[in-house]
């Protein structure tokens, strides 16, 4: 990697570390903060470990940085109690919730949306560079992966709520009495990823000369023979031979 790229990543890492330490001081609910930060620590470790093997672009690292910073805010207050409406009121004199007719705290909804919006592009970069996907699949698979991981996170939340129970379980789950909370969260993550991939596709369509050809080629049938039992029979014949 170029020195400029490494320096940029170190600056992001330093800024995030300072932000994380600051918001680690006296969180609203320490136990919930610990639960919320387990995945952050694991993800940060993965980014450090993969830097030499698969360094991402500065665009991807910037998007990841913004998302993690937003998540850390949610973990400091717990998502259901982030006082964003008080912040808006102090800046504008008006209530965002009242203006939009909201009756609940929607910070968690915003973060699920930004999960798809901000992380779909880094996911796409990984797919392109490891799986070498092209055309349609270079946009669909990041969307699909975002939807799958969003569903997995909702299952983790449910499992944690079942294991810990009580106030800690409810604080981590953060449904705020909405029985469709998990469904709405997954939908918003999916919409965010769809928006990100649509914008990426529009940009590539404008800048990439062979965009249409690559897209069409990605949907072309590569193997004329069916798989399944036909492929099993072929492998058995090769094994016998």
Going by pLDDT thresholds of 50, 70 and 90, the confidence category of residue 51 is: very high
pLDDT of residue 46 exceeding 90 = yes
Sign, Cα dihedral of 196, 75, 163, 181: negative
**d(C-alpha 152, C-alpha 34), whole Å:** 19
* pLDDT of the residue at 115: 96
| pLDDT tens for each residue of 151-197 | 998 888 777 777 776 666 565 555 566 677 788 889 999 999 999 99
How many Å separate Cα 188 from the centre of its chain?
Answer: 11
Supply the pLDDT for residue 101. Answer: 86
Angle made by CA atoms 121, 125, 131, in degrees to the nearest 5:
135
Please check the confidence at residue 60 and state whether its pLDDT lies above 70.
yes
Q: pLDDT tens digit string along 84-111?
A: 999 999 999 999 989 988 888 889 999 9
Helix axes 166-173, 137-164, angle to 10 degrees: 160
pLDDT of residue 178: 67
Provide the phi-psi class of 33: left if phi over 0, else alpha when psi is between -120 and 50, else beta. alpha
Whats the size of the chain, residue-wise? 241
How much is the average pLDDT of 110-115? Answer: 95
Written as six digits, the tokens of 212 are 């249409």
**pLDDT value of position 215:** 93
pLDDT for 195-241, tens place per residue?
999 999 999 999 999 999 999 999 999 888 888 888 888 888 887 76
Mean pLDDT of 48-56: 94
pLDDT of residue 168: 63
Nearest to 23 by CA among 96, 74, 93, 87: 74
Q: What is the pLDDT of residue 36?
A: 85
């Amino acid at each position: 990697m170029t020195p400029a790229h490494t320096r940029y990543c170190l600056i992001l890492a330093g800024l995030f570390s300072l932000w994380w330490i600051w918001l680690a001081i006296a969180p609203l609910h320490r136990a919930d903060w610990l639960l919320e930060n387990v995945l952050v620590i694991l993800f940060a470790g993965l980014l450090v470990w993969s830097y030499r093997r698969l360094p991402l672009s500065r665009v991807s690292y910037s998007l990841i940085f913004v998302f993690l910073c937003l998540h850390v805010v949610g973990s400091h207050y717990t998502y259901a109690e982030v006082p964003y409406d008080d912040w808006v009121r102090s800046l504008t004199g008006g209530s965002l919730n009242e203006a939009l007719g909201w009756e609940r705290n929607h910070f968690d909804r915003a973060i699920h949306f930004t999960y798809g919006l901000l992380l779909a592009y880094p996911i796409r970069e990984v797919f392109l560079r490891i799986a070498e996907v092209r055309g349609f699949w270079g946009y669909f698979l990041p969307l699909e992966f975002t939807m799958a991981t969003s569903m997995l996170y909702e299952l983790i939340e449910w499992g944690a709520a079942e294991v810990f129970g009580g106030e800690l379980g409810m604080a981590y789950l953060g449904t705020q009495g909405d029985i469709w909370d998990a469904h709405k969260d997954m939908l918003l993550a999916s919409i965010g990823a769809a928006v990100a991939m649509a914008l990426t596709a529009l940009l590539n369509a404008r800048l990439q000369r062979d965009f249409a050809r690559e897209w069409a080629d990605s949907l072309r049938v590569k193997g004329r023979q069916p798989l399944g039992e036909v492929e099993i029979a072929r492998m058995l014949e090769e094994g016998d031979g």
